[in-house]
Structure 1
Amino acid sequence: MHDQLPHPDPAAPYTGWGRKDLESLADRTLLALRPWATPGHARFDLPGPASGAGPVSDGLEAFARSFLAAGFRLSGASDDPQDHAGWYAAGLRAGTDPASAERWPLLADIPQTRVEAAAISIALHESRSWIWDRLDAATQQHIIDWLVPSAELRYPDNNWRWFCNVTQAFLRSVGASHDQQLVDRNIATMDEWYLGKIDGRGGWYRDGAAGSIDWYNGWVMQLFSLWYCRMSAGVPGVEELQDRFRARLSDYLSTAVNLWGGDGASLFQGRSLTYRYATLGAPWAGAIFDASPLPPGQLRRLGLGGVRYFVDRGAFDDSGLLGIGWLDQFEPMRQSYSGPGSPYWSSLGLAGLVMPADDPFWSVPEEPLPVEVSDVRGAIPQAGWLVSGTLSDGIVRVINHGVDHGDHEDPLYGRLAYSTVTAPLADAAEVADNQVVLINSDGSVTDRSGFDLLSAEDQDDLLIASSRWDRIRCWSAIRGCVEVRAVRLQRADEDQAGRMLISGFAIPQQPRPGARSGLVSEVRSLVGDGSIVAVRHPTANPFGSQLLINQVEYPKPAADTWHVVGISLYDADEQPEISWPSVTVESTEALKINWPDGTEQRIGN
Structure 2
Amino acid sequence: MTSSDFRAKVLGYNDVHPFCEVKLSDRESVQDLLKTILDPLQQHFSPQCSRIKVPGATAVRFDNTASEIEGYARPLWGLASMLAGGGTYENTPRWIEGLKAGTNPESEEYWGQSEDSDQRMVEMCCIGWTLAVVPAFWDALDEKEKGNVERYLGGINDKVMPNTNWLWFRVFANLGLLRNGAKHSPEMLVQDIKHLDSFYRGDGWSNDGPEHIHQMDYYSGSFAIQFLQLLYAKLAGEQDPETSAEFKRRGEMFALDFVLYFDEEGRALPFGRSIGYRFGMISFWGAIAYAEIDLPAPLTWGVVKGIVLRNLRWWQTQPDIFGPSGTLNLGYSYPNMYMLENYNSPGSPYWACLAFICLAVPESHPFWASAEEPYPSKQLPVIKSLKHPKHIITYHGGHRMLLSSGQACGYPMKSTHAKYGKFAYSSAYGYSVPPGGYTLEQFALDSTLGLSDDEGEVWKTRRNCEESGIEVHDDLPVLVSVWKPFKDVTIKTWLIPSTEKHPNWHIRVHRIEAGRDVMTADGSFAIYNIAKADGRALRPYKSEIAEGTSPRIVGNYDLDAEGGSNPGAEGAFAVSKGAVGIADLEIADLERPSNRTAMIVNADPNSNIVEKKTIIPTLQHTIKAGSTQWYATGVYAKPSNPGVAPESYLDGWDSKPAVPDWIRALINGQS
TM-score by length of 2: 0.79
Structure 1 residue 193: Cα displacement: 1.7
**Alpha-carbon deviations, 1:270-298, whole Å to 9, x = none?**
11111111111111112222334221011
Question: Structure 2: which amino acid aligns with 1:260?
Answer: F
Structure 1 residue 146: Cα displacement: 0.9
CA RMSD of aligned residues (A): 3.0
Structure 1 residue 247: Cα displacement: 1.4
In 2: Cα distance, 1:447 partner to 1:476 partner: 15
For the Cα contact (< 8 Å) 2:448–2:461, is it kept in 1? no
Structure 1 residue 459: Cα displacement: 7.4
Work out which of the residue numbers 194, 217, 230 in structure 2 matches 1:226.
Answer: 230
**Alpha-carbon deviations, 1:423-456, whole Å to 9, x = none?**
2232553561222244448878554222134322
In 2: Cα distance, 1:241 partner to 1:459 partner: 39
Pairing of 1:274-423 with structure 2 (within 5 A): 274-291=276-293, 292-293=295-296, 294-314=299-319, 315-371=321-377, 376-390=382-396, 393=398, 395-406=399-410, 408=412, 410-421=417-428, 422-423=430-431
1:22–1:208: structure 2 CA closer, same or farther, 3 Å change rule? farther
Tell me the residue number matched to 1:581: 657
Tell me the residue number matched to 2:601: 535
* Match status 1:568 vs 2:636: yes
Question: Structure 2: which amino acid aligns with 1:450?
Answer: N
Residue identity over aligned pairs, in percent, reads 23
Work out which of the residue numbers 205, 215, 220 in structure 2 matches 1:217.
Answer: 220
* Match status 1:590 vs 2:590: no
Tell me the residue number matched to 2:507: 484
**Alpha-carbon deviations, 1:138-188, whole Å to 9, x = none?**
222221121111111111100100001111112222233332332222222
1:555–1:86: structure 2 CA closer, same or farther, 3 Å change rule? closer
In 1: Cα distance, 2:663 partner to 2:342 partner: 49
Structure 1 residue 588: Cα displacement: 5.9
Work out which of the residue numbers 169, 175, 189 in structure 2 matches 1:183.
Answer: 189
Give the unaligned 5+ runs of structure 1: 9-15, 593-602
Pairing of 1:38-117 with structure 2 (within 5 A): 38-49=46-57, 50-77=59-86, 80=88, 82-108=89-115, 111-117=118-124
Tell me the residue number matched to 2:581: 522
1:281–1:481: structure 2 CA closer, same or farther, 3 Å change rule? same
SS in structure 2 of the partner of residue 150 of structure 1: coil
SS in structure 1 of the partner of residue 615 of structure 2: strand
In 2: Cα distance, 1:461 partner to 1:589 partner: 17
In 1: Cα distance, 2:516 partner to 2:402 partner: 32
Tell me the residue number matched to 1:246: 248
1:416–1:358: structure 2 CA closer, same or farther, 3 Å change rule? same
SS in structure 2 of the partner of residue 278 of structure 1: helix
SS in structure 2 of the partner of residue 333 of structure 1: coil
In 1: Cα distance, 2:150 partner to 2:289 partner: 31
For the Cα contact (< 8 Å) 1:203–1:250, is it kept in 2? no
For the Cα contact (< 8 Å) 2:584–2:634, is it kept in 1? yes
**Alpha-carbon deviations, 1:246-278, whole Å to 9, x = none?**
111111110111111222122111111111111
For the Cα contact (< 8 Å) 1:436–1:500, is it kept in 2? yes
1:507–1:164: structure 2 CA closer, same or farther, 3 Å change rule? same
Structure 1 residue 526: Cα displacement: 0.7
**Alpha-carbon deviations, 1:468-509, whole Å to 9, x = none?**
1121101011113311111113x4x4x624443322122231
In 2: Cα distance, 1:356 partner to 1:452 partner: 48
Give the unaligned 5+ runs of structure 2: 1-15, 485-489, 536-574, 587-592
* Match status 1:259 vs 2:261: yes
Question: Structure 2: which amino acid aligns with 1:133?
Answer: D
Tell me the residue number matched to 1:595: none
Work out which of the residue numbers 34, 38, 63 in structure 2 matches 1:30.
Answer: 38
1:125–1:559: structure 2 CA closer, same or farther, 3 Å change rule? same
* Match status 1:121 vs 2:123: no
1:429–1:213: structure 2 CA closer, same or farther, 3 Å change rule? farther
For the Cα contact (< 8 Å) 1:223–1:285, is it kept in 2? yes
**Alpha-carbon deviations, 1:576-595, whole Å to 9, x = none?**
21132112556764379xxx
Question: Structure 1: which amino acid aligns with 2:526?
Answer: A
For the Cα contact (< 8 Å) 1:440–1:499, is it kept in 2? yes
1:263–1:372: structure 2 CA closer, same or farther, 3 Å change rule? farther
SS in structure 1 of the partner of residue 618 of structure 2: strand
For the Cα contact (< 8 Å) 2:130–2:176, is it kept in 1? no
Pairing of 1:407-486 with structure 2 (within 5 A): 408=412, 410-421=417-428, 422-426=430-434, 427=436, 429=439, 432-440=445-453, 446-456=460-470, 462-470=476-484, 471-479=490-498, 480-486=503-509
In 1: Cα distance, 2:662 partner to 2:359 partner: 57
Question: Structure 2: which amino acid aligns with 1:60?
Answer: I
**Alpha-carbon deviations, 1:376-414, whole Å to 9, x = none?**
321112122111123x63x21111112123575521111
For the Cα contact (< 8 Å) 2:237–2:244, is it kept in 1? no
For the Cα contact (< 8 Å) 2:404–2:423, is it kept in 1? yes
In 1: Cα distance, 2:116 partner to 2:107 partner: 17
Pairing of 1:139-154 with structure 2 (within 5 A): 139-154=145-160
Structure 1 residue 118: Cα displacement: 1.1
For the Cα contact (< 8 Å) 1:415–1:434, is it kept in 2? yes
Work out which of the residue numbers 141, 152, 158 in structure 2 matches 1:135.
Answer: 141
Question: Structure 2: which amino acid aligns with 1:533?
Answer: M
In 2: Cα distance, 1:550 partner to 1:399 partner: 19
Question: Structure 2: which amino acid aligns with 1:231?
Answer: L
SS in structure 2 of the partner of residue 566 of structure 1: strand
In 2: Cα distance, 1:181 partner to 1:517 partner: 58
1:589–1:116: structure 2 CA closer, same or farther, 3 Å change rule? same
SS in structure 2 of the partner of residue 283 of structure 1: helix
SS in structure 2 of the partner of residue 105 of structure 1: coil
Question: Structure 1: which amino acid aligns with 2:228?
Answer: F
User: How many residues get paired?
Assistant: 572
For the Cα contact (< 8 Å) 2:100–2:145, is it kept in 1? yes
SS in structure 1 of the partner of residue 525 of structure 2: strand
Question: Structure 2: which amino acid aligns with 1:69?
Answer: G
Structure 1 residue 216: Cα displacement: 0.6
Tell me the residue number matched to 2:540: none
In 1: Cα distance, 2:603 partner to 2:125 partner: 42
In 1: Cα distance, 2:670 partner to 2:359 partner: 49
Tell me the residue number matched to 1:597: none
SS in structure 2 of the partner of residue 538 of structure 1: coil
Structure 1 residue 324: Cα displacement: 0.8
**Alpha-carbon deviations, 1:95-150, whole Å to 9, x = none?**
1222222111222388011111111110121211x322233222222211211111
In 2: Cα distance, 1:62 partner to 1:261 partner: 31
Question: Structure 2: which amino acid aligns with 1:217?
Answer: S
In 2: Cα distance, 1:110 partner to 1:246 partner: 29
Structure 1 residue 76: Cα displacement: 0.7
1:85–1:534: structure 2 CA closer, same or farther, 3 Å change rule? closer
For the Cα contact (< 8 Å) 1:207–1:213, is it kept in 2? no
